[in-house]
Chains A and B, each alone.
Chain A
Amino acid sequence: MDPTQLSLVQAHAWLSSRQISARELTAAFLERIDRLNPRINAYITVDREGAMAAAQRADDRFRNGTATPLTGIPIGVKDLFCTENLTTTCGSKMLARFRPPYESTVTRKLKEAGAVILGKTNMDEFAMGSSNETSFFGPVRNPWDTERIPGGSSGGSAAALAARMAMATIGSDTGGSIRQPAALTGLTGLKPTYGRISRFGMIAFASSLDQAGPMTWTAEDAAIMLRVLAGHDPKDSTSIQAEVPDYVNTLVNRLDGLRIGIPEEYFPDSLDRETRHALEEAQQVLRDLGASMVSVSLPHTRYAIPTYYIIAPAEASSNLARYDGIRFGYRCEDPKDLKDLYTRTRSEGFGAEVKRRIMLGTYVLSSGYYDAYYRKAQKVRRLIARDFQDVYTGVDLLLTPTTPGTAFPLGEKKDDPVAMYLSDIFTINVNLAGLPGLSLPCGRDHQGLPIGMQLIAPVLKEERLLAAAHAFQSATPWHQRKPEL
């Protein structure tokens, strides 16, 4: 069997029994990247030397008995996690040659567990986008249909995994950037509770919404990844101080007694017919597994997009002020004076969508507009969070579609920002409420494109998401489908 087709759990078994060495496994993935990446454009940077050296160390750990479930596992990392001495671009011209002198907590934990980082995956510039078309390094193509987008902003992580150019990948999710591309490429994508995984070294888009998470083929693989990534970090004051459970031990095959809420606002008339049908079938599978479905309402759902597009750009406008051409990153040629240095560095270094959001954010924070926009959005955000708290008194999980439809063609929404923003309509409120959400494949449309469904749990109940997803995957074949390449 081609080792690139293994799940993380299977690969660990092969490595443990010396059926394959970490170097052989890594070499197989590097060869596949060489072959497929030119078509998919999932990686911005491939770190061959670093990966082979890490594989060598992984083999040593298998020999001396210090291997972990991630040792020797080839992983792709979204290019906004800072990696020491390895270029970290954030998908932007601004950081095209930026080599951080420090390591993000996420990649440090992966490295300490013995994982092999193959390279840095493509993404929308500064994670601003839903189609991976805003990347300075060109769009990523969906392995299921290379004329379609893979979703975004973690489009490179999704496409790399879907095309088997990694065994698992790391994404980040501010308004759906893990779950939406996972849905559009047939993967399992987990956005944990806000603060569950440290943000240290993860280049900020919107600090109060950003959260890292794993993208995998199965819920079981996601459980293994989360176990390594989760936990308080003294370097991130917003990371949560709470025990990290053994997410693998809490996986189950039956869902007896589980109450799943179906929020009516997430099934509008405009919902894609095939997606609606796939979700109905999924509900039947869950019932067969012992769960019960309960109709619920989240009345403030419709404020998701406006609320998000005030708060996220506001934070981004401030977070991106540091890209001024003075200490690192892109700097314009021959600045005349300070103002010219700022203006041209930022005009030339940022792409259109990033500029649009900086302007939006600057506007909503401006004197005279703050109360009408930012302060009001914060109030609505609390109402949205309360909606969820209220329904969780009666249900254990929520089930929704992840996206309004399947992967759309490249270029279709590129020049229509509002249409693009609406593709995150089902994922955004989860970020605003700080909740954990998971997308997993639950069907296919008439063109064979994957359809995803989203499970949403209360704060810190990731194990509930993973257990339900695992049970679903034990009863369905969707997560095993692979694109033909």
Chain B
Amino acid sequence: MTYDPNYETVIGLEVHAQMVTRSKIFCGCSTTFGAEPNQQVCPVCAAFPGVLPVLNSELVSMAIKTGLAIQGSIRTRSEFARKNYFYPDLPAGYQISQFELPIIEHGQLHIVTDDGVRKRIGITRIHMEVDAGKSVHEGIQGASWIDLNRTGTPLLEIVSEPDLRSAQEAGEYLKKLRSILRYLQVCDGNMEEGSFRCDANVSVRKLGQTAFGTRTELKNLNSIRNVMRAIEYEAERQIDSLESGGRIVQETRLWDANQNTSRPMRGKEEAHDYRYFPEPDLPPLVIAQERIDTIARQLPELPDAKAERYRNDLGLSEYDAGVLTSSREMAMFFEETVSRGAQPKAAANWISVELLGRLNRGGMEIEQSKVTPEQLGRLLALMQNNEISGKMAKQIFDIMFESGGDPDTIVQEHGFKQVSDTAAIAAIVDQVLADNPLQVQQYREGKTKVMGFLVGQIMKATQGKANPASVNAILQEKLSG
């Protein structure tokens, strides 16, 4: 799709990230996904009369962690508020959220744009809030099912500044944000299960115009791909509308991934007055500076810092460093491989080319790899010690990838051991030279190209197990002798 070059798209994203606390935000119910309907519900999360919320302290720690990771400022005094609206899967008739005083403000993260430029994306605020339950309309006539298992699941709502200028940038922002949350181990980032959800605010304006255009809010974007497609569609729709003399109506639109289109949403979200006011059942949340300091000290190394270290200390390329830090699992795989004796550059290469190539073809994630970093590290060490050739290593790796297994065992079982014994190689070289006098003659007359043929004969005689470097050295010596 091509944009009208006279327009630019302005995008701000609101992400709802479910935090992986063991229990719900205000009660002791489990947060495990996939339980039978209404099996993880108690009087508190079902909002029975007289019950009261008690804030999950683990959630506060996760919010602080996230705030530090995006370099936000953490309010030592924040406040909960009620957002009032009626809906059957919202048991209290209000959502406990944060409104005027959120826990985190003024953060940022960096993305790399299409033309390779590093760009800062502001994060306006992050606040804690409670998730609603689910209404299920399938399988029942004239009524709906209500499942309250998700009710009370803790969320962080992460609101970006309108700093994004294209669907690609939005996609990069979401990938980076999700990666940070996964590094912190506060959110599993699973968009299909709804643990990482995104709404997009989109507007367009003529290039050079400083005022924002009227925005629309896009919902029902359940993958990064859908976020990008929906933004592209919406930008085009808005530009078409303006170009044909129309104007943009501020509204919420639902994305339909099957039809590749969006339509205005009607119902609960429209023109709602949420009547926010401070939650009287929870005192203001006061966080001691020491708690923030303690969490700051325990913060893991985050993707940007890691990539920088990979470039500067391990000599990796910008591209490899980017690939290997794109997820916590990937970085852990790489670091574990290196710790087993592999050279960093070789490890980076093998992971990003051999392993990811095969995984991508199979539509798999690195967590699903049969090859463990220990095994890859050992394989690369065998190669570096000349015990196997590079060619063997790839064959062994194929077996490891398909069936799993330890490289030493595979080397033994399949007889992959490289011959580096000089005397043994010399004997074979002698034999090959004796068998091919014509080629020896040609070489000595200056046709050095036949060297390749002779090496091939030697490798054939050793079934490929001879160390190529040794073969070359010995052959050279004998031919020039």
User: Which residues of A does B touch, CB under 8 Å?
Assistant: 80-82, 88, 90, 95, 98, 100-102, 104, 199-204, 206-208, 234-238, 314-315, 317-318, 321-324, 326-329, 338, 342, 362, 365-367, 370, 374
Contacts and interface: CB of A to CB of B under 8 A. Distances in A.
B114 to A, nearest CB: 41
Nearest to B285: A237
Nearest to B274: A367
Interface string B51-62: 111110000000
Interface residues of B, number: 28
A101 B88 contact: no
A200 B52 contact: yes
Nearest to A88: B49
A237 B285 CA distance: 11
B277 A365 contact: yes
A318 B277 contact: yes
A324 B86 contact: yes
A100 B277 contact: no
A234 B50 contact: no
26 contacts: A82-B50, A95-B49, A104-B50, A200-B50, A201-B51, A204-B49, A204-B50, A206-B280, A207-B280, A236-B52, A237-B52, A237-B54, A237-B282, A237-B283, A238-B281, A238-B283, A318-B82, A318-B277, A321-B93, A322-B47, A322-B49, A322-B93, A326-B91, A327-B91, A329-B49, A370-B277
B96 to A, nearest CB: 11
| Residues of B contacting A: mostly | loop
Contacts of A104: 50
Contacts of A314: 277
Interface of B: 43, 46-55, 82, 84, 86, 88, 91-94, 146, 273, 275-277, 280-283
A180 B276 CA distance: 32
B280 A235 contact: no
A318 B281 contact: no
Contact of A203 (B43, B46, B50, B283): B50
Closest 7 CB pairs of A and B: A321-B93, A207-B280, A365-B275, A208-B280, A203-B49, A203-B50, A201-B50
Given A208-B280, A321-B84, A328 B48 contact: yes
Nearest to A209: B280
B50 A80 contact: yes
B183 to A, nearest CB: 31
Contacts of A80: 50
Contact of B88 (A202, A237, A326, A328): A326
Nearest to B41: A327
A327 B282 CA distance: 24
B372 to A, nearest CB: 45
B54 A324 contact: no
A101 B50 contact: no
A318 B48 contact: no
Contact of A98 (B49, B275, B276, B282): B49
Contacts of A234: 54
A338 B49 contact: no
Given A98-B49, A203-B49, A324-B86, A366 B275 contact: yes
Given A202-B50, A322-B91, A374-B277, 20 more contacts: A88-B49, A98-B49, A102-B43, A102-B51, A199-B52, A200-B50, A207-B280, A208-B280, A237-B52, A237-B53, A321-B84, A321-B86, A322-B47, A322-B49, A326-B146, A328-B48, A365-B84, A366-B273, A366-B275, A370-B277
